Amino acid sequence: MSTLLRKKASYWFIVGVIGVMLVNFSRNIYRLLKSQDRLKLASEQLAEAQQENQELKLKKHFFNTDEFVEQEARNKLFMAKEGEVIVVLPEELRDLPEEQSIVNYDSSQPVWHQWLDLFW
C-alpha cells in the first residue's frame, strides 16, 4: 500500500512540476509577444523621430544661410541694402493676388500719368 501511495504522490508531484513549468513557459511566451509589439512601436517612433530630425536639420541649415538672414531683415525689420528704397504699400494693396492688376497698363500714357492714376 505504501508503494502505491508513493507512486501516486510522485505522479502528482511530476504533474504539478510540469503544470508549473507550462504556466511559466506560457507567461514567457506572452511577455515575448508583448515585447515584440513594444519593439515594433519603438521602431516606428524612432523612424518618425529620425524623419523629424532630418527636417529640423534642413530648417537649421536654411536658417543659418545668408539668404534667410537677409529675407528676415527685409521683411520683418524693414531693412534695405545700400542704395535701395523701401516702399510700403497700403493695406488694401498688400493682400491682392499677384495676377490681379490694379491699374491697366497703357503704354500710350506717359509714366507720370500712370503713377497719377495708380495713386489717385
User: Looking at the domain assignment, is residue 112 inside a domain?
Assistant: no
The total domain count for the chain is 1
d(CA 116, CA 107): 14
CB atoms within 10 A of CB 52: 10
Query: Is 75 among the domain residues?
Result: yes
Q: What is the CA radius of gyration of the chain?
A: 40
Inside any domain, residue 25: yes
Q: What is the pLDDT of residue 14?
A: 95
Q: In whole numbers, what is the pLDDT of the chain averaged over residues?
A: 85
Question: Per residue in 39-74, pLDDT tens?
Answer: 999 999 999 999 999 999 999 999 999 999 988 888
Contact residues for 43 (Cβ-Cβ < 8 A; gap 6+): none
In a domain, 71, yes or no: yes
111, part of any domain? no
In which domain, by residue range, is 63 found?
2-90
pLDDT of 55 reads 96
The answer to the question of residue 73 being in a domain is: yes
Residue 48 lies in a domain: yes
How many alpha carbons lie under 13 Å from residue 63 in its C-beta half-sphere?
Answer: 6
Q: What is the pLDDT of residue 103?
A: 52
Predicted TM-score of the model (pTM): 0.45
Q: Is the dihedral of CA 79, 80, 82, 86 positive or negative?
A: negative
Q: What is the pLDDT of residues 79-114, one digit of tens each?
A: 888 888 877 777 777 766 665 555 556 677 788 888
For residue 95, being part of any structural domain is answered with no
**pLDDT tens-digit profile of 4-16?**
888 899 999 999 9
Residue found by looking up cell 500500500 in the block:
1
